[in-house]
Structure 1
Amino acid sequence: MSQDSNNKNIKLMFMSATVLIILFLYTIYKSSVHIQNSSYYLGIGFLFILLIFALVLRLNENKIKKYLSKNRLNSSFENELQKTKEKDTSDFSSNIQAVSSNISFKDVAGIGEVKEELEEIVDFLNEPNKYLKYDIKLPKGVLLVGPPGVGKTLIARAVAGEADVPFFYQSGASFVQIYVGMGAKKVRELFAKAK
């Protein structure tokens, strides 16, 4: 919508300038005054050139802005911000490493109900035909919730060990970033690497 209004403004400005020039020339012609001073004509010519220059600038405003922003040197803050973003992303993706887990459910004490649920998922991963025969679908994921120190990481390692798949470990603090969207990007990178 703003593009349409800009185009209308440019057309109106051009039409107004044309009408003013025509009226000025008509007035000079009708008055039949012969001005002897050449500086008057130079001033009128300069104003006319200035008007044309303003119209050309207005018509090419977007191109000029792009050119100036491309050639403008970034401030030191912007440079540092860009370097930090690139460094954080490359550091994180290189830090994601798979670990083979030799922990089994026998190593996990207590939480019997949780172990039963997770054993079913591991059984599904090891023998999917047994479950697919009854149109049972594997859950998309498992969310282990609880306060620190209750064994969430240990049970996750046990699931990886029982299923004989690699274990990817990242602390929650590694996903907290000062830049909006970087934490979500790191989560996506972790899941992409795990697949």
Structure 2
Amino acid sequence: MSEDTKVEETKVEETAAAEGAEAEMQAADGKSKRAPRKKAAPRKKAPTNVNPDIEERVVAVNRVAKVVKGGRRFSFSALMIVGDKKGKVGYGLGKAKEVPEAIRKATQAAQKNMISVALDDGTIPHAVLGRFCSAKIQFIPASEGTGVKAAGACRSILELAGIRNVLTKSVQSTNPHNVVKATFKALENLRSEAEVAKARGKDIKGLRIK
């Protein structure tokens, strides 16, 4: 190999090295000019229980599996009941990938959907029947000292509503979701003596609801 050829190869290598160094410097300048990324602000979780007078109870927590291409993805659903034991009660359903988050969502939904229940000295004004799908539940007024004769989700709802004495009878479906909704249907149908008297256009004195 002649000396001229060696000199040309050396020049080519030096030129390539210089171009590479210049490209690296330009890339470094571009990175330095780029504005830094802003850090995302942490999400503020809403408080689970805003009103300290409201009590919470868990009715059911279910694990659900979704089958996808990569395998199974698990999530949880929670059914919650809240009430102040003074005639207001509500229920809510929450779904999330973790149990605490599902309970928090269900509690918030329950607090938003609270209803007022007509009470009569610790019991209900009259007998009532509630239905939802195949679930049927009946409430009958009871005297002082009887207690809440109910079980499961129905008992929790009645206690959080402030009912101390009542007889209940539940038939057919035992699904907690159906029982809860049937119970709320029955409670929504309760009417106080004042409401019935106003609807009939009569005086409340001497009026008795049966």
Taking structure 2 as the reference length, the TM-score comes to 0.20
Taking structure 1 as the reference length, the TM-score comes to 0.21
Decide which structure has greater helix share. 1
Q: Rg bigger for which structure?
A: 1
Decide which structure has greater strand share. 2
